[in-house]
Amino acid sequence: MPAQTPIGLQLTRGAKEISAAFNDALAEAGGSLPVWVVLISLKTRRLGNQRELARAVGIRGATLTHHLNAMERDGLVTRRRAPDNRRIHLVELTEQGEALFHRLRAAAVAFDRRLRTGVSDEELATFASVLGRMHRNVSGVDRPAGPRPGGPE
């Protein structure tokens, strides 16, 4: 007899508000969720081109271009062509981009602390583990990537 909790809906709705709160925390520090993910990817990984960056961020190439345009306009990144293969655009953080990265990291850490209040390390580990399994359970490669909610949206 399986549990009857509608966990999909519960997760979707709960996470929507938690994500909104996370985004608010990042906005107060001058960023946003997609910008934060792009910055992390740029700092953390050695990425060859924008396609890899888009994949790491979990969005399409054209959508990444959209964000990079804004980030370049705001002086957070520079784009230049790679000398050896001029099709590739090298994306690099400016000093301002570095500074924003550190501010957003502090905001993210503070948000995490708030989020974890009253949650034991063991519970947190279980939570993360289950989340990961659920993610894999539904991350079929069969999804042809239509328009995404909002999102949600």
Q: Is 5 helix (H, G, I), strand (E, B) or coil?
A: coil
Cβ 123 to DNA shortest distance, Å: 28
CA dihedral for 35, 99, 25, 70, sign (positive or negative): negative
Site membership for a second copy, residue 8 (CB under 8 A) = yes
Distance between CA 64 and CA 60 in Å, rounded?
6
Give the binding range for DNA (CB under 7 A) out of 3-11, 65-73, 102-110, 127-135. 65-73
Using CB under 8 A as the binding rule, whether residue 83 contacts a second copy is answered as no
Task: Please give the Cα distance from 23 to 10 (Å, whole number).
Answer: 20
Which token pair is 45?
A: 């990984």
Rounded-to-integer distance, Cα 89 and Cα 92, Å? 10
Compute CA 71 distance to the chain's CA centroid, rounded to the nearest angstrom: 15
| Interaction between residue 40 and DNA (CB under 7 A) | no
User: Which x/- pattern over 103-122 shows residues binding a second copy (rule: CB under 8 A)?
Assistant: -----x--xxxxxxxxx-x-
Q: Is residue 153 a contact point for a second copy (CB under 8 A)?
A: yes
Task: Choose among DNA, a second copy, none what residue 12 binds, the Cβ cut-off being 5 to 8 Å by kind.
Answer: a second copy
Task: Verify binding: residue 28, a second copy, rule CB under 8 A.
Answer: no
List of residues contacting DNA (CB under 7 A) = 16, 23, 32-34, 49-51, 58-69, 79, 81, 85-89, 144-153
